[in-house]
């Protein structure tokens, strides 16, 4: 498998059965073998396949190709299960991808089809939910009970935990990017005022481009412009912080969230995001407890590690 990288140092997966993990993103599909010692081997990124006629089938085909290549390259690792996580709405219990606007599948039976294509038991789930579980079990959420893992990238999605348990609601919980916020704009989902139209990294860059007529590559450039005194960039960054603070305060008021773990590209802004966000949250809350703000420990591999943990849980359940 020539495209595979060398093994990484021992990761947070810990000891357990050998599994294959696959994390399907809008742009890239990531995969790795996790051995019995918790080491990630052969971490690889390939373009996520898109096909308007066969949107689910082409993903299954790519997963099957990866599974065959890994079996050949790592014969010493007995793969007991496969963990697959995807974006969109999912029914993880049924193994079905309910809907994904960026891919086009509807009610696609991923669990069944991948099992048929690879011969492995399949643990299927949502990418952000899996990343959230990984952070709670092996990352920034250790020790937290009431937490939200908020992934802020092109869009916004979250994984919600109450009393240490994930809240899934048939796949509908955690769609925080589509919660209404003051000052929101028309969203691609068809609603008006969604959080991700203001607070996502994609929205920050898009709004700056539209307002100024200049083109920036992403939110990082807008942040740099704001730090250099660009008034438009300052306002757009401030709007994003305010929208995120509004939604986080709503979570605190409704379900008592005590910890918010920020991941995704925008979280890389560090104190430039955390400091004003924390200040605004504190100003908005009265008697309610102010949540701790943390950044992801597992970073971009959180979804992949979460997929591996799901696969291992499946193996344990089947014993």
- Reading the chain (319 residues) residue by residue, the pLDDT tens digits are 434 444 444 555 666 789 999 999 888 899 999 988 888 899 999 999 999 999 999 999 999 999 999 999 999 899 999 999 999 889 988 999 998 877 999 999 999 999 999 999 999 999 999 999 999 998 999 999 999 999 998 889 999 999 999 998 887 888 899 999 999 999 988 899 999 999 999 999 999 999 999 999 899 999 999 999 999 999 999 999 999 999 999 999 999 999 999 998 899 999 999 999 999 999 999 999 999 999 999 988 899 999 999 999 999 887 7
pLDDT attached to residue 15: 66
Q: What is the DSSP string of 89-150?
A: EEETTTTEEEE-TTT--EEE-HHHHHHHHH-S-EEEEEHHHHHHHHHHHHSTTTT-SSEEEE
Q: How many residues does the chain have?
A: 319
Pairing of strands 28-34, 96-99: unpaired
- Give the DSSP letter of residue 49: P
CA distance 4 to 176: 35
Decide: 89 and 106 in contact? Cβ < 8 Å: no
- Sign of the CA dihedral 3, 7, 12, 13? positive
| Structure tokens that stand for 159 in this block | 């994984």
**DSSP bridge pairs for 159:** 149
- Delimiting residues of CATH 3.30.420.40 domain(s) in the chain: 18-131+300-318, 143-296
Q: At how many degrees (to 10) do helices 231-255 and 201-212 cross?
A: 150
CATH architecture for segment(s) 18-131+300-318: 2-Layer Sandwich (3.30)
- pTM of full prediction above 0.75: yes
Give the count of beta carbons closer than 10 Å to the beta carbon of residue 61.
15
CA distance 105 to 184: 28
85 three-state secondary structure: strand
- Give the DSSP letter of residue 261: E
CATH architecture for segment(s) 143-296: 2-Layer Sandwich (3.30)
CA distance 196 to 198: 5
């Amino acid at each position: 498998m020539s495209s595979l990288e060398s093994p990484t140092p021992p990761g947070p997966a810990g000891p357990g059965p050998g599994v294959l993990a696959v994390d399907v993103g809008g742009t890239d599909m990531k995969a790795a073998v996790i051995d019995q010692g918790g080491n990630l081997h052969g971490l690889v990124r390939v373009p996520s396949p898109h096909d308007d006629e066969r949107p689910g089938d082409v993903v299954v085909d790519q997963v099957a190709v990866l599974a065959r290549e890994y079996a050949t390259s790592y014969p010493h690792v007995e793969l007991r299960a496969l963990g697959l996580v995807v974006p969109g709405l999912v029914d993880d219990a049924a193994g079905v991808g309910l809907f994904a606007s960026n891919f086009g599948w509807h009610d696609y039976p991923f669990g069944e089809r991948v099992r048929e294509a690879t011969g492995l038991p399949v643990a299927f789930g949502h990418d952000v939910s899996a990343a959230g579980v990984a952070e709670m079990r092996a990352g920034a959420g250790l020790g937290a009970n009431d937490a939200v893992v908020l992934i802020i990238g092109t869009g916004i999605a979250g994984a919600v935990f109450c009393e240490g348990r994930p809240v899934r609601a048939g796949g509908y919980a955690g769609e925080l990017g589509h919660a209404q916020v003051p000052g929101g704009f028309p969203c691609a989902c068809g609603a008006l005022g969604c959080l991700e139209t203001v607070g996502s990294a994609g929205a920050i860059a898009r709004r700056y481009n539209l307002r100024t007529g200049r083109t920036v590559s992403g939110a990082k450039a807008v942040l740099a412009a704001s730090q250099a005194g660009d008034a438009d960039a300052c306002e757009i960054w401030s709007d994003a912080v305010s929208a995120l603070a509004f939604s986080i305060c709503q979570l605190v008021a409704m379900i008592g969230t005590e910890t918010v773990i920020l991941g995704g590209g925008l979280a890389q802004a560090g104190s430039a995001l955390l400091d004003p966000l924390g200040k605004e949250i504190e100003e908005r809350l009265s008697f309610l407890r102010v949540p701790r703000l943390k950044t992801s420990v597992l970073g971009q591999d959180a979804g992949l590690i979460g997929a591996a943990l799901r696969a291992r849980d499946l193996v344990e359940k089947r014993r």
